[in-house]
Every structure is written in C-alpha cells, then in structure tokens.
Amino acid sequence: MDVLVIAGGIPGPDDPLFPFTEGKPKALVDVAGKPMGQWMLDAVSGAKHTEQVVVVGLEEDCGLHCAKPLHFISDQGGILDNALAGMQRIQEISPVAEQALVLPGDIPAITSQMIDWRIEQTQGADVDFDFAAIERDVMETRYPGSSRSFIRLKDVEVCGADMHVVRPSLVVEVELWERLAGARKSIFKQAALIGFDTLILILTRSMTLKGAEKLVSRRLGIVGRATLSPYAEIGMDVDKPFQLEIMRQDLSPTSSTS
C-alpha cells in the first residue's frame, strides 16, 4: 500500500512548539537523536506492506530518507491543500491503487509492526475511509500523561488516532476533505460535523461505535469504517512541549519501552 505522510507546516511564534522548531518544520525537530519524521520513515521502511511513499510539506534536501521509493512535495500552505496534493501524487504514481495509508508527520513512536497491522486490517475491505480510534484504557495505560480528548459511546470510550486508510479517488471530494480537516484535532468536532442529533446521541451515550460508523457513512456520503487500535502509539501526536518531552523520553535509548 502507498503511504502519504502529511508533514507540512512550520510552527509560528504563537505555536507552543516554536522554541523547539526555530523556524523549521515540526517533522524535523529532534526526538531522541533523530528528526521526528525520520522515526516515522524508518517505521515505513521496515514495514512489509508499504510501497511508494509521498511526503508533503518537506523539500528533497531535508535530510530524511526511506528504504521505499520516496517522493517529496513542498508545503502547499495548509493541511487541506497538502492532503489533496499528496493524494493526487499517489494517484499519478499508482493509478489503480484502491487504498492509501495516511499519516501525519508527528507520531514518531509508531513501528513497522503497527503499520503492517493497520494495512492488514483494511486489505480487501471495500471502504472509502477507515478511521482508527483508541480505547481510553489502551491510551492511558501506555501514555498516562498524554491529555487526549475522549468521547464516550454506549459501548466504548475512545480518542481519535492518526493512522487512517483512505481511497485515493476521494481526492475529488474537496468539501469532504474540508470538513474532515477542520475536525481533525478534536473528537468532539468530528462528532459535530455529522449533525447535532448525532452529537446528542453520543453525549447521552445512546450510540454504539458500530452505530456511529453507519451514521457517519450515511451523513458524509462515503463507505466508512471504524477500527479500534491496540496501539496507543498511533494516536500519540506531538502538538505541545510536554508531548514532545514524552516522546523524547519514550524513544530514548535508555527507555524500557523503546
């Protein structure tokens, strides 16, 4: 499966990570001895099921490398434009590709095993968008201080993850991408974008995960599916200094979990 890494964006002075990035892309900030983005590309390199890799938001001379064929696209100015440009490039590279794995540039704790698991979960599935989620106990057991936002359904309490499988042909659905991009950092916004009535059902814990999956598919006009991940690492993105410190400690050569 082809992989899209959305690594664009240079934190500005008002961003909490600005002191650590100093005008460079967040994906290049040092985490335990190497750039955050390199941790991710190392995981992609070692995965059995990954093929072409497209990185959006970095230049070819950024210093990152991958064992799989690697393509760079410069930053397009925003998360939506970067996602669309990356999907278009994947369609050019692999015109018949049915699925692509989409990652942000800031989940450095992922491993090759996790990537292969994610791909294996969706191979052969006729879905447009496979959304990953993580149960609260999985996330908080692995990263007790991560401060994730959770949503409680009738049968499970989850936070959103950052490793999704998308049908590349959805690139033409610009409005859909706009809505998803606007809600990407908040599980509550993700719930609200599919309707106030749905949000009420969620807040009153009247909806199961499967029920939410079906309703999201109908409201967004896609074939969607939710997959629960046993790996907290795919939801541990770095947005704030304390999360960066968690990753530096977690991936340090002296860490017992690395």
Nearest residue to 94 via CA among 130, 44, 48, 52: 52
CA distance 160 to 179: 16
Please write the tens of the pLDDT for every residue from 100-151.
Answer: 999 999 999 999 999 999 999 998 888 888 989 999 999 999 999 888 888 8
Nearest residue to 144 via CA among 134, 136, 152, 153: 136
pLDDT at 213: 78
Instruction: Name the average pLDDT for the chain.
Output: 85
Q: What is the mean pLDDT of residues 236-254?
A: 93
Q: What is the dihedral of CA 245, 251, 253, 256, to 10 degrees?
A: 100
Instruction: Determine which of 29-43, 164-178, 189-203, 232-246 has the lowest per-residue pLDDT on average.
Output: 189-203
pLDDT at 23: 85
Q: How many C-beta neighbours within 10 Å does residue 163 have?
A: 25
Nearest residue to 151 via CA among 134, 138, 165: 134
pLDDT at 189: 54
Q: Which of the two residues, 155 and 189, has the higher pLDDT score?
A: 155
pLDDT at 200: 44
Please write the tens of the pLDDT for every residue from 69-109.
Answer: 999 999 888 777 888 899 999 999 999 989 999 999 999 99
Q: What is the mean pLDDT of residues 152-178?
A: 79
pLDDT at 206: 58
This prediction has a pTM of 0.85
Domain ranges of the chain: 2-250
Whether the predicted pLDDT of 230 surpasses 70: yes
Whether the predicted pLDDT of 181 surpasses 50: yes
pLDDT at 184: 52
Of 106-110, 161-165, 204-208, which one has max mean pLDDT? 106-110
CATH number 3.40.1410.10 given to 2-250: no
CA distance 174 to 81: 10
Whether the predicted pLDDT of 42 surpasses 90: yes
pLDDT at 202: 52
DSSP one-letter string for 158-227: EEE-S-EEE-GGGGG-HHHHHHHHHTTT-HHHHHHTT-HHHHHHHHTT---HHHHHHHHHHHHTS-EEEE
pLDDT at 208: 78
pLDDT at 149: 84
